[in-house]
Amino acid sequence: MRSWLTVLTWITCALAAGGLARAQANLEINTPAIASLKASMQQRHAQLAAFYASGAVGLTRDGLIALRDANAVPLAQRQQVNALIAAETQDRLALYREIARANGRPEWENDIRATFAQRWIEKAQPGWYYQSASGAWARK
């Protein structure tokens, strides 16, 4: 399984080649805040990977993650999973905001988020769930 940091780095590079590059966004920008967020997300990914694989957690169409199937999580672990999802949501939103802010273009935050959402889904492991544009869950 690829390292989450490797995936995040690939996504950042792919984004730079995409639509936002035309607007001169530097999506590889690395401020202390961005580095901290990426490290936090990478560390958490190790805990989330099993929940992605079981289908309990899925990638949402808006660049976040969600509890897709609570029944796939043992009752004793549900609080932990909800805490992981909340922390991941907080970091993802902060990452999108920080990339836009670091580029001096806070108004790009929604575009950065939309681009990341697409790339997270494209790079998801086989068997992971994601939301389609309509909001329906699909298995990769």
pTM for the whole thing?
Answer: 0.83
Predicted confidence at residue 76, as pLDDT, reads 97
Residue 113's contacts (CB-CB under 8 Å, 6 or more residues apart) are 62, 63, 93, 96
Domain boundaries, the chain: 4-139
Report d(CA 139, CA 68) in Å as an integer.
11
Residue 10's contacts (CB-CB under 8 Å, 6 or more residues apart) are 123
Sequential pLDDT tens for the chain (140 residues): 455 545 455 445 444 444 444 457 777 899 999 999 999 999 999 999 999 999 999 999 999 999 999 999 999 999 999 999 999 999 999 999 999 999 999 999 999 999 899 999 999 999 999 999 999 999 99
Report d(CA 90, CA 35) in Å as an integer.
15
Predicted confidence at residue 106, as pLDDT, reads 96
